[in-house]
Structure 1
Amino acid sequence: MTVFDLALRSLRHRTGGFVASFLSMFLGAIVIMSFAAMFDTAGGAGVDAVSEETLITMASVVGGWGLVIVLFAVISTMTLSVRQRAGEMALLKSVGATPFQVGRMIVGETLVVAVAASLLALPLAAGGGWFLLEMLQETGQVADGVGYAFGSAALSIGIGVTLLASVGGAAVAARRAVRMRATEAMTAASIETGRMSRKRVIAAIVFLAAGLNCGILTATLFDGKGIDAMQTAGQASIWFSIGLALLGPVLVRPVTAALAGPLRLVGGAGGYLAVENVRRRTQQMAGALMPIILFTGIATGTLYMQSIENGAPPAAGSSIPPDEAQAIETLNFVVVGMLSVFAAIMVINTLVAATTYRRREFGQQRLVGSTPPQVLGMVGMEGVVLAAAGVLFGSIGSIVTVFPYSLARTGELLPDTTLAIYLGIVSVAATLTLASCLGAARKAIRVPAVQAVAV
């Protein structure tokens, strides 16, 4: 049996285990191809210079940030998937599989899933690009006579990036698994060390530094330049939130420590188990924490930046004409809408995948006396920790956009805007987190306990 045959058999027998990764690739392909279609549309016949510039800007800026988030999401879900299969990887090594063969199997599985996701995404991506063009035309940013095109740019960029991101994510996720010996892999399958690799720490520092640098440039270089400050302010919260998300295994610990007392007091045995589960599964919990941080940080930063701009007086130093302000506002709402919706779906996707995987654990707890409501209570309190950590550090990530932009546009560090925006974002993040955890756990405990343990 070849490695590719083994990958196909693994896909057939573990279809549910690849759902999270498939959804990341599928949604990512839709996002990237929808915006890449603006390149095809801009290159059509009879497109005026203003419309062409708007279309290229939309495709480059929003599509570029979409690419970053999609790549991050694919790597995150692939890492979670490979970590959940640590026991399987260890078993393959114990019966003679080489690290190269295990790595090829993981990459082969991912490649098949990525191809299927890309092809299935084509109809929705074509429709998404058409909707985007309609929106630009309705707001007067693109001429009504511009015809929609979905061609080589959308296909090559969308499918190519999805395949590269997926295979690259699989290679990164499999790297640690294939390097360990069989005995070490068996141990890792049951015990998490909670350690972060040096490369991950370095990457996090780089992203944090990039976000902080954008914030500093906003408050200094673009002071008095009006809406021009969005060039750096908008990037700040994205870079900084990604950096914080990479540090998830470290960040979840202080939040758990702070909430340990109240959770144990309120939840009793369930609260104690919830705290211990989070502490012992920092890597898995960090994987679920990432999209919560991204959703909170990006949505808060972008929406407050636009709110500040809407209430700020015109600036003489701006190089952008006032009549282009609507285009920028639309761009901002498209950015926050696209990235936030994608991040929100990833919150659900990741949490459902992580919680469903624990079916055996829930079965064991029920066999030793825990009732279904007690299991759900434990999972709910774990969700509270994740929601609190995600909202906290996502809010910190948004600060590098909100404060510098407010300082540059109004001269005040604290923006004079409504608190309702923030409360709405926090409510959505908390609701998504708790609903995903409890929904997946409720489905998992429907399986009889003996059957769940035997799986």
Structure 2
Amino acid sequence: MLGLALRSLRKRASAFAASFLAMLLGATMVMGFASMLDTAEGSGATGAARETLTTMATVVGGWGLLLVVFAVASTLTLSVRQRAAEMALLKSAGATPGQLARMIVGEAAGLALVAALAAIAPAIAAGRALLGLLHGTGQVPAEVGYHFGPAALSIGIGVTLVSAVAAALIAARRAVRGRAAESMAAAAADDARLSKKRIVFAALFLLAAASEAIVTVTVMDGSSDAMATSGQADIFAGIGLALLAPAIVRRAAALAAGPLRALGGAAGDLAAATMRRRTGALASAVTPVVLFVGTAVGTLYLQATENAAMDAAGLAKTPEDKSIETLNFVVIGMVVLFTAIMLVNTLIAATAHRGREFGQTRLAGATPRQVLTAVALESAVLTVTGVVLGTVASVFTIVPFGLARRDSAVPDGDVRTYAAVVALAAVLTGLTAFGATRRTIRVPAVEAALR
């Protein structure tokens, strides 16, 4: 099965593109931040400079690690879900569940190793840029030179391999269970029911977010140290809500069915039927929207509230305050870039797989314009769902921090900040879905339907 996995990677490179990009970006991010440990050690940095480098590597890198693991798991699950019919055929040909699991894990491990090695060069560039930012803000002396070594390599390659194998094992468990006939039926139905383990993990992440919020309001009340606890609550909450996305999207699709049919006519009816039938696959596009909106909104308003609290107290920013502010904006930039690319990546992968569906729909009488309109309506529902969930996730950060620092649940900051984040999420989702669909339906309907 390992040989089959390697041949599968060579012959079906396009099918693994989304997972490879997630691993490549993840490895680049993790190595780039981890190289701050090499820099601190290799340059002999001491005092505040060493602390800043270590904090940048551990705190921001830790958040990035969490996002990377979740992104890799999401794209691999989507890839395996899209190959459900293929897995069922292999079962009917005599493949055992253990063999299929080894094939999936072998594919993921091979992909992760290539991605990690390919990430070394961009990670070095990213690490240099990060150190340059710290030089520019005066947090690290200019004489501290950049070093990329064993810490970055071991952490980056290790994390990429472990996260890929762990994600593959999770995806494989669902793909290989059941008999061939049952697997074929499940592949056709795109079953989006939540497993017990998924619900448990979602509850754990939401409880972690709630715990951070409670600690912020009670233990950290009145202290700027509240940023340390509240700052990660939105990430925990975002991941917890994203794990529940299939069930939430199914409910959102049911609520939107009536308005879609009323406003979109035939295209609206097509969109409503598709969302009801392909809930599991479409829910994968909601995940990056939730993380993007939740983390960006939470961190931006957290920093705005902290700035307002310091202004009200008549305090000037210390080097430590500037360091924390830089960390926050690095987090925002990291999350915006990573989740934006993952959003585009996931939507392209999910839409490209629908070529046969689009072909069959056109043969049944739908025009290309109706297909495009239906996908646009689907994207609108998914965007609204993701924005709502992301906003809920951000509340776990901005409300507790506001209460702790300003005795107010209403965050400081301009409402245009929120509008800009939402608009960017909507533009990315809409343009990507439209472009990917338009490219997919260029294939003649008969040819696409036979694929």
Q: TM-score range, shorter-chain basis?
A: over 0.9
> Equivalent residue for 1:347?
343
Alignment of 1:370-381 (within 5 A): 370-381=366-377
1:437 to 425, 433, 447: 433
Q: Per the alignment, in what secondary structure is the counterpart of residue 310 of structure 2?
A: coil
1:289-331 superposed Cα distances (whole Å, 9 cap, x missing partner):
1111011101000010001111113698x9x983311110000
Q: For the residues of structure 2 that align with 1:193 and 1:39, how far apart are their CA atoms? A: 44
1:270-297 superposed Cα distances (whole Å, 9 cap, x missing partner):
1111112112222112211111101110
Q: For the residues of structure 1 that align with 2:294 and 2:129, how far apart are their CA atoms? A: 26
Amino acid at match of 1:275: A
> Equivalent residue for 2:291?
294
Contact 1:255/1:388, CA 8 A, preserved across alignment? no
> Equivalent residue for 1:111?
109
> Equivalent residue for 1:238?
235
Contact 2:35/2:151, CA 8 A, preserved across alignment? yes
Q: For the residues of structure 2 that align with 1:284 and 1:236, how far apart are their CA atoms? A: 27
1:136 to 131, 134, 137: 134
Alignment of 1:2-401 (within 5 A): 3-225=1-223, 227-313=224-310, 322-401=318-397
Q: For the residues of structure 1 that align with 2:327 and 2:30, how far apart are their CA atoms? A: 16
Question: Number of residues paired by the alignment?
Answer: 450
Amino acid at match of 1:290: T
Q: Which runs of 5+ in 2 are unaligned?
A: none
**CA-atom RMSD, angstroms?**
1.5
Q: Per the alignment, in what secondary structure is the counterpart of residue 348 of structure 2?
A: helix
Contact 2:304/2:412, CA 8 A, preserved across alignment? no
Displaced runs of 4+ in structure 1, greater than 4 A?
A: none
Alpha-carbon deviation of 1:46? 3.5
2:408 to 412, 415, 428: 412
Q: For the residues of structure 2 that align with 1:346 and 1:427, how far apart are their CA atoms? A: 17
Amino acid at match of 2:168: A
Q: For the residues of structure 2 that align with 1:416 and 1:124, how far apart are their CA atoms? A: 37
Q: For the residues of structure 2 that align with 1:421 and 1:220, how far apart are their CA atoms? A: 28
1:137-182 superposed Cα distances (whole Å, 9 cap, x missing partner):
1000001110100000000000111011111111110111112211
Contact 1:224/1:315, CA 8 A, preserved across alignment? no
Percent same amino acid at aligned positions? Answer: 54
Moved more, 31-40 or 102-111: 102-111
Amino acid at match of 2:329: F
Q: Per the alignment, in what secondary structure is the counterpart of residue 149 of structure 1?
A: coil
Q: Per the alignment, in what secondary structure is the counterpart of residue 329 of structure 1?
A: helix
1:417-453 superposed Cα distances (whole Å, 9 cap, x missing partner):
2101100000011111111111111110011111111
Moved more, 400-409 or 133-142: 400-409
Alpha-carbon deviation of 1:20? 0.4
Contact 1:91/1:182, CA 8 A, preserved across alignment? yes
Moved more, 257-266 or 146-155: 257-266
1:451 to 444, 447, 451: 447
Contact 1:51/1:142, CA 8 A, preserved across alignment? yes
Q: For the residues of structure 2 that align with 1:164 and 1:323, how far apart are their CA atoms? A: 37
Q: Per the alignment, in what secondary structure is the counterpart of residue 94 of structure 2?
A: coil
Contact 2:190/2:281, CA 8 A, preserved across alignment? no
Q: For the residues of structure 2 that align with 1:160 and 1:450, how far apart are their CA atoms? A: 45
Contact 2:139/2:319, CA 8 A, preserved across alignment? no
Contact 1:351/1:436, CA 8 A, preserved across alignment? yes
Q: For the residues of structure 1 that align with 2:44 and 2:26, how far apart are their CA atoms? A: 31
Alpha-carbon deviation of 1:366? 1.1
Contact 1:212/1:400, CA 8 A, preserved across alignment? yes
Contact 1:194/1:282, CA 8 A, preserved across alignment? yes
Q: Per the alignment, in what secondary structure is the counterpart of residue 43 of structure 1?
A: helix
Alpha-carbon deviation of 1:257? 3.0
Alpha-carbon deviation of 1:367? 1.2
Q: For the residues of structure 2 that align with 1:177 and 1:311, how far apart are their CA atoms? A: 51
